[in-house]
Structure 1
Amino acid sequence: MAEPTTSVWATGQQPSRIQRRGRYVPESMRHPGKMLPAIAARVIASYTRAGELVVDPMCGIGTTLVEAAHLGRHAAGVEYEEMWARLAVANVGLARKQGASGFGRVVAGDARNITRLLPDLAGRVTLVLTSPPYGAHTHGHIRSTRDTGEAGVRKWNQHYSADRGNLAHQQLPALLEGFGRILAGCMELLRPGGVAAITVRPYRVHGELVDLPGHVHQVAEEAGLLFVDRIVCLLCGLGEGHLLNRASFFQLHEARKAWARGLPIHAVAHEDLLVFRKPAAPPPKPSPSFRHDLREGRELE
């Protein structure tokens, strides 16, 4: 097998809100941890062909499904929170109205049981594309004194869920154990030689950097996946001889506070895309078309 490589993708040329404008229902912005559409589209275009199957076991508001549909791929997603699952359904429906040729399917459920939720896709999936949660809440949306003229900072849309069963609420060991179960289930859905691509970035807890990409790499290999590539997906933009900052208010605020304490830390300006493959084996027997399966599946309406 070839040695793993590292590449850089310029996926942050436009801010997230611009990438989504008109392509996703406006309510989608409520989700605090959305995958960047440019990353999803680039991964799907790079590792699949038209008509092939893509799965996101933690699909949120359906970014993977929407971008797959627009590229003529078919997709299925699992989402633990029904409110996000219904937004995923709305976004897939919007993609279809806009002429997307791919079909999307959303199941509300716990992806730790993904083989029971999507049994008809076993051995047929070309690409699994997903991202783990980064805790029970994120920075969300903010308005600072500079924006409002009033003292203090107002935050909203920063919570994934109030359900303690959601992996987002778990401490790192339990999060990794649950994510490992999800990846093991995805191994059963992938066809031989199929790709699992995981977007993940490090984060800080009380100023200490947590190497989540490294932990996810280990968990994926323990699930039987073979590491083949690491791609740096830029969250910043590339200007004429300089970078265009896309960091959030709180990322910059925390970095400035650290510098004031003598800790030279910087806001994260990229996500790691870790690419794995399922070991090759004889091809599976032919199975019914995805379109037929879609009508028979547990699709949310």
Structure 2
Amino acid sequence: MSVSKSVWNTAPTSAPAQRGNRYTTGSAAHPAKMLPAIAAHAIRTYTQPGDLVLDPMCGIGTTLVEAVHLGRHAIGTEYESKWAKLARANLALATRQGVTGHATVTCTDARHLLTHIPPERHGTAALVITSPPYGPSVHGQVRSTRETGQRGVVKQHYRYSRDPHNLAHVSTDKLLDAFTQILTQCRTMLRPGGTAVVTTRPWRTRGELIDLPSAVLAAGQAAGLTPAERCVALLAGIRDSRLIARPSFFQMKNVRDARRAGIPLHLVQHEDVLVFTRHTQDLAGHPATSRPPRCSSRGQHPPRSTGGCRARRADDRRRR
């Protein structure tokens, strides 16, 4: 028996400390990497050693690396060849470090996931972990005058790519349509009773809150997945019962600018974790039942879920 909580303590150390010597040089250049502890927590909670884990937009391969270190096997697809190459390098490093799991990476558009994975692997994944591209306000790194010798702050590593077809560059409505397509194919990849974990967070555009988590919840339902849990993965550490924030430069700047303008904005301390399941009687060819609603902003009504999504409490238990 194991006890799982709705709040995941996934930032006891910083992201660089979590990656340590398990990721190759250059991995930090990806603008929106998943926190390794989030992937590891999901893998420990929803899979057993030897299970298959899928990440359809794997970036530098964080999900895959954490999976093989935990004795699971993994499949990843990635649209950008630059990041797919880094993901393979990170997996090669994991192999040299003696992991027992095995993983592969294919460079392709996740919207065509099923055409690039052998049919015999369809319906075999125990877990899907993924995340839609976030708004640009949470991307990027900065270098100060002291580091560059140039006046002012220099922003770097804030683009996934310059390819206009990359989903990071499309409108929110188009992103949600595409993400529904991806989740529909992920449902086919899941074995009956399998789990899909999607991490996401809201962002602001010109002061308006973009409620991406609610829209992604609706997208998962439209893809034929069943909402099961809604959890919180901390991006802040805990010291003496207090949250220790680890915001990016741009998050700090956005909050300060908003407060100077009289808007009581606060730092984002967590990511929403949306947990779906594939029904045990679901058929792989069952089509999505509906299209996701438009992503709402402040002043509009957010998409409403009709599924049984719940937050897992500390007293909920899962048999391992």
TM-score scaled by length of structure 2: 0.84
**Contact 1:137–1:158 under 8 Å retained in 2:** no
3-state DSSP of counterpart to 2:6:
strand
Matches within 5 A, 1:213-292: 213-281=213-281
Equivalents in 2 of 1:112, 1:139: separation in Å? 23
Aligned to 1:205: 205
**Contact 1:59–1:78 under 8 Å retained in 2:** yes
3-state DSSP of counterpart to 1:26:
coil
**Contact 1:128–1:186 under 8 Å retained in 2:** yes
3-state DSSP of counterpart to 1:102:
coil
Matches within 5 A, 1:130-141: 130-135=130-135, 138-141=138-141
Residues 1:126 and 2:126 aligned together? yes
Aligned to 1:297: none
Seen in structure 2, the aligned counterparts of structure 1 residues 74 and 84 have a Cα distance that, compared at 3 Å, is same
Aligned to 2:111: 112
Seen in structure 2, the aligned counterparts of structure 1 residues 174 and 6 have a Cα distance that, compared at 3 Å, is farther
Aligned to 2:174: 174
Equivalents in 2 of 1:126, 1:198: separation in Å? 14
Q: Report percent identity of matched pairs.
A: 50
**Contact 1:125–1:189 under 8 Å retained in 2:** yes
Cα deviation code 1:254-299 (max 9, x no counterpart): 1111111111011111001100000013999xxxxxxxxxxxxxxx
3-state DSSP of counterpart to 1:106:
strand
TM-score scaled by length of structure 1: 0.89
Range with greater deviation from structure 2 (65-74 or 233-242): 233-242
Report the structure, 1 or 2, having the larger helix content: 1
3-state DSSP of counterpart to 1:65:
helix
Aligned to 1:195: 195
Deviation at 1:174, TM superposition (A): 0.4
Aligned to 1:50: 49
Equivalents in 2 of 1:240, 1:148: separation in Å? 37
Deviation at 1:143, TM superposition (A): 2.2
Q: What is the aligned residue count?
A: 280
The residue type paired with residue 101 of structure 1 is: T
Cα deviation code 1:207-232 (max 9, x no counterpart): 21111100000000010100011110
Aligned to 1:19: 18
**Contact 1:80–1:109 under 8 Å retained in 2:** yes
- Name the Cα RMSD after superposition: 1.9
The residue type paired with residue 18 of structure 1 is: A
The residue type paired with residue 132 of structure 1 is: P
Q: Name stretches of at least 5 consecutive residues in structure 2 with no aligned partner.
A: 285-320
